[in-house]
């Protein structure tokens, strides 16, 4: 079975607690349950990693090398700052899709840069939790058929 790792960055564990107008009312645990259900429907094996620490995210990406077929990554605020996460993604070169719950393109200027985008086959933003499902679908197609 194809193995997908869903990586979430800082403060994603706070979902549903504040800024509900931007990120919705559902919690991080709801997100995990949703991804697991959707992965089951797609016949994918899914695992999860969340950290508030840049280096821990880099470690998790490195550990995916040779073990994981595809990565869904929402680096959260590190999207806009982290060359280290970009380099780790390039180093392992596991097919990856970047996901953002909110529509970052219509938010502040500082959210308009994504470093990790360069290492991803696609970016999905503004689709809420459904973006994670869409990312798994994209990865399944890409890994099995080479289609984007």
- Could you give the residue numbers annotated as active site? 23, 100
d(CA 136, CA 114): 20
Residue 82 contacts ligand CA2 per CB under 6 A: no
Minimum CB distance to ligand CA2 smaller for 20 or for 41: 20
Residue 3 contacts ligand CA2 per CB under 6 A: no
DSSP per-residue string spanning 27-54: -HHHHHHHHHHHHHHHT-EEEEEE-S-H
Window 7 to 26, contacts with ligand CA2 (CB under 6 A) = 11-12, 14-15, 17-19, 23
H or E stretch covering 73? strand 70-74
User: Which residues here bind ligand CA2, judged by CB under 6 A?
Assistant: 11-12, 14-15, 17-19, 23, 74, 76-77, 79, 100-102, 104, 111
């Amino acid at each position: 079975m194809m193995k997908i790792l869903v990586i979430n960055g800082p403060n994603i564990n706070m979902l549903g607690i504040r800024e509900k107008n931007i990120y919705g009312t559902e919690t991080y645990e709801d997100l995990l349950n949703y991804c697991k259900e959707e992965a089951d429907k797609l016949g994918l094996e899914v695992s999860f990693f969340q950290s508030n620490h840049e280096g821990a995210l880099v470690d998790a990406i490195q550990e995916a090398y040779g073990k994981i077929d595809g990565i869904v990554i929402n680096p959260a605020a590190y999207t806009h700052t982290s060359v280290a996460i970009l380099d780790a993604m390039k180093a392992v070169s596991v097919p990856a899709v970047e996901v953002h719950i909110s529509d970052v393109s219509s938010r502040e200027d500082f959210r308009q840069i994504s470093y990790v985008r360069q290492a991803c086959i696609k970016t999905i933003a503004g689709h809420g939790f459904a973006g994670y499902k869409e990312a798994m679908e994209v990865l399944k197609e890409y890994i099995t058929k080479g289609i984007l």
